[in-house]
Amino acid sequence: MTRARMPRPHEVAAARRDPRLLRAAKEQQGDGAWRIRGACQAVDPETFFPAPTEPADAAVALCRTCDVQGACLAWALDVGDCHGVWGATTPRERRAMLVAWRSDGLAAGNADPRLGAVAMLLPLPRARPQEHPDPVGAAAQ
């Protein structure tokens, strides 16, 4: 298993200007109601968990058509999820966004700002990608 490296300062600076991050900060929701509106409802969940050597283009393209991509990305950043595609972002992109999300206080209160950038290297409170049955939580309907 390859350990993710810490994002470099220029990557974090770029993440802070990323329109997807700004949209996530604006559209974040306190509940999971956004999930049932996801454009990926009828798509194979494996599409959103490509292998590291595979392109994530198909998933990212679908996310870009999705009305709830801001809320989706906010959720992924709140839980520190760095697997799979969420809100039109790849895990690598989200690692840099996560530093900005936590250090800049963009989260509405679900994340603990004391965790800082170190938190993204900790084990994630989420199923492994191959075990994740449904990236939009259709089961929660």
Calpha distance 48→134 (Å, rounded): 9
CB of 85 to ligand SF4, least distance (A): 6
> What are 15's two structure tokens?
């993440």
Stretch that binds ligand SF4, among 8-16, 17-25, 86-94, 120-128 (CB under 6 A): 86-94
Closest to ligand SF4 by CB, 13 vs 36, is: 36
Q: Where are the beta strands (DSSP E) in the chain?
A: none
Question: Considering the rule CB under 6 A, would residue 136 count as an interface residue with ligand SF4?
Answer: yes
Cβ distance to ligand SF4 smaller for residue 25 or 63 = 63
Helix (H, G, I), strand (E, B) or coil at 42: coil
Does 72 sit near ligand SF4 (CB under 6 A)? yes
Residue type at 20?
A: R
Query: How many residues belong to the site for ligand SF4 (CB under 6 A)?
Result: 15
Q: Are 4 and 82 in contact (CB under 8 A)?
A: yes
Residue 114 backbone dihedrals phi, psi, to 5 degrees: -70, -20
Site string for ligand SF4, 16-45 (x = CB under 6 A): ----------------------xxx-----
Nearest residue relative to ligand SF4 (C-beta): 38
Residue 75's Cα: distance from chain center in Å?
A: 7
Which parts of 44-63 interact with ligand SF4 (CB under 6 A)? 48, 62-63
Residue 53 DSSP label: T
Looking up tokens 């939580």, which residue turns up?
137
Residues that bind ligand SF4 (CB under 6 A): 38-40, 48, 62-63, 66, 68-69, 72, 86-88, 135-136
